[in-house]
Structure 1
Amino acid sequence: MAKRVLITGAAGFLGSHLCDRFIAEGYDVLAMDNLITGDLRNIEHLFPLKNFTFYNHDVSNYVYVPGELDYILHFASPASPIDYLKIPIQTLKVGSLGTHNLLGLAKAKSARILVASTSEVYGDPEMHPQKESYWGHVNPIGPRGVYDEAKRFQEAITMAYHRFHGLETRIVRIFNTYGPRMRLNDGRVLPAFIGQALRGEDFTVFGDGSQTRSFCYVDDLVEGIYRLLLSDYAEPVNIGNPDEITIREFADEIIELTGAKTKVDYKDLPHDDPKKRRPDITLARKLLNWEPKVSRNKGLKITLDYFKSLDREDLYKKDHKLFDKYIKR
């Protein structure tokens, strides 16, 4: 009999790729999403399958799933600055109430649960690269606090359920990830640059462009998550690509890749924006025998082809008013 997995945030970027992976592995996949930031187009190809079921539900409310469950993957959460500035209360609720509900469901079903945390728990880090042992440098009341602290609380309550109830838990700390099904105008740097290139706009670089990021292709991330779920390690694990690049260098890469005839427009750095971001993946290499395989050049070409295939309505859709307000503070 096939094992059953519940994936929350299933219509989002990462959630949809996880649905694909678990379907390919022969699981019965129960997908759950309230579609506040997710898009059914990401999973519409799965609806005809007998081993795929979709629930339109907000996990911040009580979660009921009939039958047995073997695994839960909790990926329901806004993840881009535009989203969590637009819906800050919902962001806090899904990280706290939603995680509590799903931990309770895992306990009731005797299921193993993996929760999606983020490199943002490290805040604007004073340690570089970031190791799992680093506690972070986070402003709890700043604009980013609604996301950062939701994820930090999520980790805390997950470990409490593990220690107090003996629940089988896993925590993945996800670093910048990219690939097909990202939303083109969600405020994150990679889709922002590609969108501006495709529209013939100048590139927006915040600060002087010296801040760094490390980009992991989605297939590599999903492989790391899959291995972590099936491991016997309960504490947080960094999954990301340690190939670090400055934002200005990254802009130059996108300009070269797309052939865009554009210049760079510099704006003020957002409040509490991290200056450095690079994962230390020593633990993932040792524990999971995992490291990223897809080069940034290859991954960017695949991602660019995906964005080129989008309708013009998606290409020109913008929702930057709150983000602009956040930048100007």
Structure 2
Amino acid sequence: MANKRILVTGGAGFIGSHLCEYLLKQGEEILCLDNFFTGSKDNVKHLMKHPKFELIRHDVVEPILLEVDQIYNLACPASPVHYQYNSIKTAKTSILGALNMLGLAKRVKATILQASTSEVYGDPLIHPQREDYWGNVNPNGLRSCYDEGKRCAETLFFDYHRQHALNIKVVRIFNTYGPRMHPQDGRVVSNFIMQALTGQDITVYGNGLQTRSFCYVDDLVMGLVQMMDQSADFTGPVNLGNPGEFTILELANKVIEMTSSKSKITFRPLPQDDPVQRRPDISIATEKLNWNPSVQLEEGLKKTIEYFKTMI
């Protein structure tokens, strides 16, 4: 079977760059598309000389004509610091970006995967979160540009599937971490590691008892690829995340311990609509994709800390 030509939007971002790298190793031809708002050429510079890798500077808010077999639509700032910086642009990226990529997929008859998010569940009233839960989302808060943008993108994907028989895949990504995270993205893993390595106080919002689940990026990439390879009759949505659940305080203490830092923990008010609990039910991913994350938190943190040491 001939190798596939695959478009990865947001391909120079944290997750996108790892996905491009993995797909190249599988012998695929990769078009990496990014506008470099949060992505970085540094994330893919080691791929630049690969004969099957092409980097395209482009914003998914604008249409583009390409010939591809598969599309992974990852383009969108994913951390509150970045997506709240220009909230209207964030909503446009989610909604117009989805429309443009769906239009492209329809024209060339490509399979298209949408990187949705656990944020579609909002501040959940059920725990853990299953795919049949509709969520508890504030439609006009500070996080709404991202939460509702991603919810609308899911709507568009399923409407294209129903109306045009487009082969779609929808995954909901829970907290993911690893090398190439943006050091100033404001997310808890990168925040804690950078603060610990530079001797700053570790900033915990709220009382630190709110929980998160942390999936190492290599595990997530395998889930994305396994979802893309499913038959056309399986669309998702599917949760992809590590069901291991930790309080923010547990994470802070683990980072301090693993970096041998003298940082102290300080507490600040919880931001608006910040979820109290977040843990995926991955029963569908396990059953349909035969997927289970294998990297334990300590192992993943070790690799991530080593990466951030090179950034300082």
TM bracket (short chain): over 0.9
| Secondary structure at the counterpart of residue 84 of structure 2 | helix
Quick check: 2:195–2:263 contact (8 Å CA) kept in 1?
Answer: no
Alignment partners' CA distance in 2, 1:39 and 1:55: 12
SS at match of 2:116: strand
**Would you say the 8 A contact 1:159–1:235 is kept in 2?**
no
Alignment of 1:202-213 (within 5 A): 202-213=201-212
Figure out how many residues of one structure are paired with residues of the other and give that number: 309
Which residue in the other structure is 2:214 paired with? 215
Q: Which residue number corresponds to residue 54 of structure 1? A: 55
Cα distance in 2 between the residues matched to 1:30 and 1:213: 33
2:173 aligned with 1:169: no
Q: Please name the residue that 2:135 is paired with.
A: 136
Distance 1:45 1:31 in 2: 13
Structure 2: which 5+ residue stretches go unaligned?
A: none
RMSD: 0.7
Equivalent residue number for residue 11 of structure 1: 12
Moved over 3 A (4+): none
**Structure-1-length-normalised TM-score:** 0.93
Cα distance in 1 for partners of 2:263, 2:59 equals 41
Q: Which residue of structure 2 lines up, in the alignment, with residue 326 of structure 1?
A: none
For residue 64 of structure 2, what is the amino acid of its counterpart? V
> CA deviation digits over 1:270-305, x for unaligned, max 9?
000000000000000000111000111111000100
Asked if 1:121 corresponds to 2:154, the answer is no
Percent identity over the alignment is: 52
SS in structure 1 of the partner of residue 6 of structure 2: strand
- Equivalent position of 2:272 in the other structure: 271
Gaps of 5+ in 1: 313-329
Deviation of 1:62 after TM superposition, in Å, equals 1.1
Give a deviation string over 1:186-233, Cα, whole Å, max 9, x none. 100000000000110111000000100000000000001100000121
Q: Could you tell me how far 1:235 is from its partner in structure 2?
A: 2.2
Three-state SS of the structure 1 residue aligned to 2:82 is helix
* One-letter code aligned to 2:139: P
Does the 8 Å contact 2:120/2:147 carry over to 1? yes
Distance in 2 separating the partners of 1:172 and 1:234? 9
Work out the CA distance in 2 between the residues paired with 1:10 and 1:285: 26
Q: Distance in 1 between matches of 2:252 and 2:4?
A: 43
Map 1:31-50 to 2 at 5 A. 31-50=32-51
Secondary structure of the residue aligned to 1:309 is helix
Shift of residue 163 of structure 1?
A: 0.7
TM-score by length of structure 2 reads 0.98
Q: What are the superposed Cα offsets for residues 226-271 of structure 1, whole Å, 9 maximum, x if unpaired?
A: 0000012112000000000000111111111111112111000000
Match of 2:145 in 1: 146
* Partner residue in 1 for 2:294: 293
Structure 1 Cα separation of the partners of residues 309 and 153 of structure 2: 36
